[in-house]
Amino acid sequence: MKRPSLKKSRGAVCRVGLSLTGALGLYIAILAYPQPAFAYRLHYRQFDIWSDRPIDDPISAVLDDATRRLQTSILYTPEQRFHVFICNTRWRLQLYGIFHPRVGGIVIAPLTSNIYLREADIARNRIIPPVAGPMLDAKERPLAYYITHEATHVMQGRAFGRFFALIHPAWLNEGYADLVGKGGDFDLRDNLARYQAHDPLMDVARSGLYRRYHLEVAWMLEHDAVPLRMLYAHPPAEKKLLARLAKVRLP
């Protein structure tokens, strides 16, 4: 039997490599320029909103609330713009959410600063959760929270570099986005007590909530008064920070 030549084998490998590179490039282009897949657009203040369904009028109140929350961050400036895409259909959420069908919102840094959200009930200022039943911390996480949380990731990228999510720890990135997203709706003392009591809500992996990360960031910014940019420049080891939080007693 005649064996394929080494030259032909290398050519086949090159063709496969080129095909994969082309497919990856196409996917990145789809993520970066999704506008053709969304039929409805609305511009309001600093936000450009796209959706695959008509955008309800109450979106202005939702965006006003998101702006209020964003203004609590030192990273916020009124000149910044935010591009939000609401993926009401499942296939769009999977495509633009990097195949995470349960995600509430996502910014795929460093590839793009676009904000992708799951199906939303704009009139009620809420996202539609991926599973039936009550959503954890629904009161503290309306639709405005998700917009603000992801917009904070956009601001983090602009302030600390597009690779911020790869360079800095998740507890800092997500904890700060949760802090800004909740717009002050967070009880430091209560959540510290929950962490020390091993409340399941403070377990990020089990609950899917960023309460513990929020507590860590709030402690550094509010209790220890560490400026945000200094915290990003020199974040403490999370293990040591958690050990400290486990023992501290507030007056």
Instruction: Count up the domains in the chain and report the number.
Output: 1
d(CA 158, CA 155): 5
In a domain, 3, yes or no: no
In a domain, 21, yes or no: no
For residue 187, CA distances in Å to 108, 126, 223 come to: 30, 22, 13
CATH number of the domain within which 86 lies: 1.10.390
Give the pLDDT confidence score for residue 221 in this predicted structure: 97
Residue 44: domain span: 37-247
Each of the 251 residues of the chain gets a pLDDT tens digit; together they read: 555 555 556 666 666 655 666 666 777 777 778 889 899 999 999 999 999 999 999 999 999 999 999 999 999 999 999 999 999 998 888 888 776 777 899 998 888 899 999 999 999 999 998 887 778 898 999 999 999 999 999 999 999 999 999 999 999 999 999 999 999 999 999 999 999 999 999 999 999 999 999 999 999 999 999 999 999 999 999 999 999 999 998 87
Of 69, 71, 63, which is closest to residue 46 (Cα–Cα)? 63
In a domain, 32, yes or no: no
In a domain, 104, yes or no: yes
3-state per-residue secondary structure call for 96-149: HCCCCCCCCEEECCCCCCCEEECCEEHHHCEECCCCCCCCCCCCCCCHHHHHHH
Give the pLDDT confidence score for residue 61 in this predicted structure: 97
Q: Pairing between strand 105-107 and 115-117?
A: antiparallel
In a domain, 45, yes or no: yes
In a domain, 5, yes or no: no
In a domain, 194, yes or no: yes
DSSP state of 234: S
